[in-house]
Amino acid sequence: KSVASLITMPSSRALTESFFILTLTCSSDMIISIVNECDKEGYMPLLLVGDESEPMIRRYIDRSELYAGFIDNRVVAVCAVTCEGDGRYEVKNLAVEAAFRRKGIGRAMLEYVETLHPGSVILIGTGENPATLGFYMKSGYEYSHTVADFFVDNYPYPIIENGVVLRDMIYLSKHTYPKKQALIL
């Protein structure tokens, strides 16, 4: 299980940025930080791991908050999240470098997003890949709804994950807990 703490570090522009430091089971520290708007393009290679269509990524990246996970100053994960209104946020893209998978990094990225949005609903849309669905369900996400033919209608070529040709978008959701309020006597 990951151990997390939030620290604030000064930036070079006399502003402060929040960094989330996680100690993972792989005995490495991961720092998660928000990506500046002007820097998002540089993360396209890793975003393409999570969604192999650059035109599709461009449909949501400008309205997304993009978070990057770093280990030893190397980007190992990204997570793009959009605000869908009414206390709902959608994870549009979650990608982890192949060499860093199955080490708790994807789950740590999700947990970080969940801590940023207490008292909200986090949505995740994914294909019918049993391994991916299992990962999200083990992370506490439950089936919400299905968008039939999403991959057929929105991608110019078949999307294949682990030998499964994706057709429908399966949405999962998780309710995050609100922050606890201090009782003042």
pTM over 0.75: yes
Question: What does the pLDDT look like over 113-124, one tens digit per residue?
Answer: 999 999 999 999
**pLDDT per position in the chain (185 positions), as tens?**
332 333 223 233 322 344 444 444 444 589 999 999 999 999 999 999 999 999 999 999 999 999 999 999 999 999 999 999 999 999 999 999 999 999 999 999 999 999 999 999 999 999 999 999 999 999 999 999 999 999 999 999 999 988 889 999 999 999 998 876 556 66
Return d(Cα 62, Cα 83) in angstroms, integer. Answer: 12
Q: How far apart are CA 123 and CA 144, in angstroms?
A: 8
> pLDDT tens digits, residue range 26-61?
445 899 999 999 999 999 999 999 999 999 999 999
User: Which residues contact residue 104 at a Cβ distance below 8 angstroms, ignoring those fewer than 6 apart?
Assistant: 1, 2, 24, 25, 26
